[in-house]
Structure 1
């Protein structure tokens, strides 16, 4: 075991119908430690306030951050029943991130995120690592999300020339996007945005795992409104997809099959470079409209004129992607300076939704180097940096981040 990492950080996991009992089980498993911060991912069927109260009663007024999760992940256990509680305790003050928050994304995602970016930028150095959490669900009825794209753009605009390495995810209570909330350091908050700014001594390596592979040449979005793509190369977008896969997506379950079969991907950097899944931003196809011939994306960030590719989704591709990404992460961990692994995993990748015969999280936990702690959760959206480009919100992605000590 990496003795440095295990002394600095420790994880615990519990499953219960009672939030307070789950927290007590985690406290027992953490043992006689004196944590300076807790990172907590709380299953959506548990009462977040009861969990918070239990930790505060035991550890006092330390920062507690994280939020709701449709499931939790550590090395030894994971699940997405909504009854899971996953905890990371940080015991060394040298590695405790500073916590910044904004309470209400309903004031406008871009505006609130820009305000938070200004706060963070005043307290960090260029290139520092920032972990961002936000409540994914703006409204359950009618269903509406807090989109990550304006949050990322606003945050970076607020940071100005102080451009951090940004990773993060959206919190949600269950796989149906019924609700969400975050721990902002001391309380349970709905519609909030929280940033953890790690000290300059901490850096991050990220591994983007989705397994979506190009199923078409480059296509140009020739008509688009918001998140709705009407035309690709001057033809109805739905028609292009139907011809690509040789099926019709016009009715009921067939329409749902579109979501399972494909995404639209935008390649970052050199479009003619060899395939590298770390270079792609993929957008889930939520719905289609046979009358207009359009498809609607999960995020409204693609623009008219953008060059995209139809990307095939397949469970075997997803599992192979995890194996490849974990192998690369293990090579980083072998250096001996890693502190903790953080896995932010799209809830849609759970086998109950993806149709995979094997849980991709099981593939990750069984093969990822256990010499450093692992903490993770099932998310609504993932945020990752790209080389020579701004961070982007991602769909149907497993984002593995390795925090390392930078001397």
Structure 2
């Protein structure tokens, strides 16, 4: 019998029914995971809302400890509490998988910002080093809802952390797919996730001119399919490398105020950003290169799980890519590697020395037992 289940299920399935059936068949085994806009296995993938993905940890698998924290009324405080509980549990440099529900409110739409949760999480760790990866759960690609499994129940507004024992090491590759289409611009007015001005001009108008489109009176959903705002890390004038960018999807636009709202509130006034076009061919090239870079880790007999956390917007139905990028991921897997993946609302991975939320990325995470710690790709 399994000792732990990690379960992801499509938003058309009832989470409580899924839990009840699993417990009827398998007994009172702990279940973590939650909703997913889609799921991926070696045999199949899809985002119809009817997918059910179950990962079972057996007697010989390293078992994580599980801690959680509420995200309301304050995501920073919730992340801080989760970090404190992880610090009390985790060995130095332990691998931690974080899952949380992405949607805080459906009407009006408000997300649980991953950047605020991770900010608080770092405060709670208080310098205790861990290797954090994770994702936000969604019921579908329209951001309709999100929930997580924990402690035998379906929860909203909860972050759950799986803290692996010290013999588990992790290697990650962040797969991108955006290219800059503007010069650097300064954010001259921003409130939280809402960017009002770029270089002193209404942000929406600047983006429209750069992309050569007019949104009219719409609320800007088109922008989420076309572009992001990107902040280059390191030398802003160094050679282009997609791995230097943190990109933020555009959640909505407001023609009345000329502003755009990003998925995360972590771009500050004075930051230099560029408009980034979502490039499907670059996305597929990034998948090929990232999977090739992980081939050695994936082929190692000590690998007990390869987990792919994939932005729902990268699916062909949303991106318009001629090939499903998860097909490229599957082609890059060596034979015999235990593998699973899910479509997420946000992805968390080590970046520039610490973990942070990312948008429109795929994060391939390779978990191994007893190997020396590798660098992130």
- TM bin, normalised by shorter chain, reads over 0.9
1:196 aligns with 2:168: no
Q: Give deviations 1:341-366, integer Å, cap 9, x for gaps.
A: 11111112221111222211122123
Taking the aligned partners of 2:161 and 2:296, their CA distance within structure 1 comes to 28
Match of 1:325 in 2: 290
Q: 2:241 is matched with which residue: 252, 272, 276?
A: 276
Q: 2:113 is matched with which residue: 147, 165, 187?
A: 147
Q: Across the two proteins, how many residue pairs are aligned to each other?
A: 371
Q: Give deviations 1:358-378, integer Å, cap 9, x for gaps.
A: 211122123322331111111
Q: RMSD of the TM alignment (CA)?
A: 1.9
Q: Is the 8 A contact 2:104 2:110 kept in 1?
A: yes
1:8-407 to structure 2, matched below 5 A, reads 34-92=1-59, 95-102=62-69, 104-252=70-218, 255-388=220-353, 390-407=354-371
Taking the aligned partners of 2:155 and 2:204, their CA distance within structure 1 comes to 39
Q: Is the 8 A contact 1:250 1:289 kept in 2?
A: no
State the TM-score, normalizing by the size of structure 2: 0.92
Q: Is the 8 A contact 2:137 2:148 kept in 1?
A: yes
Query: Which deviates more from structure 2 when the two are superposed, residues 339-348 or residues 284-293?
Result: 284-293
Taking the aligned partners of 1:267 and 1:371, their CA distance within structure 2 comes to 37
| Higher share of residues assigned helix | 1
Taking the aligned partners of 2:144 and 2:17, their CA distance within structure 1 comes to 20
Q: Is the 8 A contact 2:100 2:158 kept in 1?
A: yes
Match of 1:26 in 2: none
Ranges in structure 2 where 5+ consecutive residues have no aligned partner: 372-377
Q: Give deviations 1:318-353, integer Å, cap 9, x for gaps.
A: 222222222222232234432211111111222111
Ranges in structure 1 where 5+ consecutive residues have no aligned partner: 1-33
Q: Give deviations 1:281-335, integer Å, cap 9, x for gaps.
A: 1101222334433222111110001121221112222222222222222232234
